[in-house]
Amino acid sequence: MKILKATEQQLDQLVPLFNGYRIFYKQPDNSEKAKAFLKERFRQNDSVIFMAFSLDDEAIGFTQLYPIFSSVQGKRAYILNDLFVSEKSRGMGTGEALLKQAVAFAKQENCIGLSLETEIDNPAQHLYEKMGWVKDEHKFHYSLKV
């Protein structure tokens, strides 16, 4: 397996994975919406996407990071917003490899860290905890839909 930073040239390989990710989170199947969203991310350069490829160059997973900033610490951090591995490639270490790449990238960028949120019943929680991610039990996170 290899992990690469995605560019717009990989868009056609990334779209089915991203659409599958959205479907996993109960969104309607819509490859065109997925493609338009990803194309905008590449053009605006406002996220970092890493893709996992099998040995025969099939795209099998991705993670997408969005930058945030800590005013208190005066540094950048990233939200690991998306992590997805194709169903047939699960259990082979792809998710772990993508998480390791995200950590290496954050260190290379001299960031304060990475954060993520996930559904309470997401089975990937065991992977996050195995890799040293810590569940926040000291702060509340609020959201507001507008």
- What CATH number is given to the structural domain containing 46? 3.40.630.30
Which pLDDT does position 140 carry in this prediction? 82
Residues 62/51, Cβ–Cβ less than 8 Å: yes
The three-state DSSP-derived secondary structure of the chain is: CEEEECCHHHHHHHHHHHHHHHHHCCCCCCHHHHHHHHHHHHHHCCCEEEEEECCCCCEEEEEEEEEEEECCCCEEEEEEEEEEECHHHCCCCHHHHHHHHHHHHHHHCCCCCEECCCCCCCCCHHHHHHCCCCCCCCCCCCCCCC
Q: How many CA atoms lie within 13 A of 118 on its CB side?
A: 22
| pLDDT in the model for residue 141 | 80
Positions in the chain short of pLDDT 70: none
Q: Is residue 59 part of a domain?
A: yes
67 belongs to a structural domain: yes
Looking at the domain assignment, is residue 138 inside a domain? no
In the numeric block, the tokens 């905890």 are attached to: 129
Domain assignment present for residue 83? The answer is: yes
Domain that holds residue 48: 2-130
Q: Give the total number of structural domains in the chain.
A: 1
Q: Which residues are bridge partners to 76 per DSSP?
A: 69
Query: What is the structure's pLDDT at 84?
Result: 95
Q: What's this model's pTM, rounded to 2 decimal places? A: 0.92
Site of tokens 């001299």 = 110
